[in-house]
Amino acid sequence: MNNAPIGIFDSGLGGLTILKALQKTLPAERLIYFGDTANVPYGSKSRETVTRFSRDIAQFLEQKGVKLIIVACNTASALALTRLRKTCRVPVLGVIEPGAQKAVRSSRGGRIAVLGTEATVKSGAYRQQILKLAPHAKVTQVPCPLFVPLVEEGWSKNPVTRLIAAQYLKPLAKTQADTVILGCTHYPVLKPVIANVLGKQVQLVDSAQTLAQEVKNYLISHDEQAQGRGSLTIYASDAPERFKHLAKHILGTRLKTVRLKKLNA
C-alpha cells in the first residue's frame, strides 16, 4: 500500500483525457494534475525546450511527494521521456508505448497511421515503438497542427473542423490504414469527426485506457495501490480560471478549483 499521490502532466488541457481514464480505473488514488498553460503548446517546439519544461514540472511533482509520474502529453513523451527517466527518482510512464501497443494489438492488416503534433511526428517515436512490437507493420505519420487549437477553441462540433480533418486525413486513403492512433491527448475530443471522415472500417485508438490499465498493473505488482477515497488537485502554470472554464469541453463536468503554480517565475 502507498497512499502517496500520482503526478500527471500535460502542456495544457489535453491530458485531461488521460486523467479521466485514470480516475475511472483507479478511484482510490490521489491524483495531482499539472497543465503547463504558460508554455502551451509543446507540439511546435524543440526537444530541448520541451525537455526543459518537462523537467521543471517533474521536479515540482516530486516535491509534492508523488510515487509515480505520468507524462500525459504525446509531445513530451516523444521528446523528453528518456531524459525524465534519468533525472527523476520515481518511475515515469509516457503515452507512446501504451498507444503503440494498443494499435499493434488492434490492427488486422498491420497498416497503422499516427496522427500527432509536428514535433511528435518528427521525433518518429511512435513509428519506432510500433516497429519494435511489429517489425513488418506499415506506419504512416500525419502531422495535424490545427487540431489542438480547434479543441482549445471548443470547435470540435463545428463543420469547419470536419473540413480540416478531411484535408489532413486525405493521405490515409492511399495507404489504406486499418488502425489510426490519436497521437495527441487533445485528439480524442475530435474522435467523432475523425471517425466520420475515415469511415467505420478504420479503428481509432488512443492511449488513455491502455495507459490506465498499465498504471493499475504497475501499482498492483509493486504493492503500491492507495486505499481509501481518491482525490484530485489541479495546477496550471497560467490563467487557472481560463483552464477551469475550458476543462468542461474535455471532462464534461466542472472542476471546483484550479490552483496557479508558476514555474521559473
Question: Catalytic amino acids?
Answer: 73, 184
Closest of 24, 14, 8 to residue 209, by C-alpha:
24
**Sole binder of its own copies in the list 242, 244, 245, 249 (CB under 8 A):** 242
Mapped to the 3 state alphabet, what secondary structure does 152-189 carry?
A: HCCCCCCHHHHHHHHHHHHHHHHHCCCEEEECCCCHHH
Total of residues contacting its own copies (CB under 8 A): 30
Q: Which stretch binds its own copies (CB under 8 A): 68-76, 80-88, 141-149, 219-227?
A: 141-149
The cell numbers describing 198, all together, are 475515415
- Which amino acid is located at 121 in the chain? V
Minimum Å gap between C-beta 118 and its own copies is 8
Minimum Å gap between C-beta 123 and its own copies is 13
Minimum Å gap between C-beta 49 and its own copies is 5
- Tell me the pairing of strands 30-35 and 6-10: parallel
Confirm or reject binding of residue 28 to its own copies (CB under 8 A).
no
Taking CB under 8 A as the rule, which mask of x and - marks residues 152-181 in contact with its own copies?
A: xx-x--xxx--xx--x--------------
Minimum Å gap between C-beta 92 and its own copies is 22
**Sole binder of its own copies in the list 131, 239, 251, 255 (CB under 8 A):** 239
CB 15 within 8 A of CB 37: no
Confirm or reject binding of residue 265 to its own copies (CB under 8 A).
yes
Taking CB under 8 A as the rule, which mask of x and - marks residues 58-77 in contact with its own copies?
A: --------------------
Minimum Å gap between C-beta 48 and its own copies is 8
The cell numbers describing 180, all together, are 489510426
Mapped to the 3 state alphabet, what secondary structure does 106-169 carry?
A: HCCCCEEEEEECHHHHHHCHHHHHHHHHCCCCEEEEEECCCHHHHHHCCCCCCHHHHHHHHHHH
Confirm or reject binding of residue 39 to its own copies (CB under 8 A).
yes
| CA distances in angstroms from 44 to 23, 110, 118, 175, listed in the order given | 30, 29, 6, 26
**Strands laid side by side in the 111-116 sheet:** 138-143, 111-116, 179-182, 203-205
Q: Which stretch binds its own copies (CB under 8 A): 134-142, 151-159, 204-212, 222-230?
A: 151-159
- Tell me the C-alpha distance between 149 and 189, whole Å: 12
Can you give the binding site for its own copies, defined by CB under 8 A? 37-40, 44-46, 48-49, 52, 145-146, 149-150, 152-153, 155, 158-160, 163-164, 167, 237-239, 242, 262, 264-265
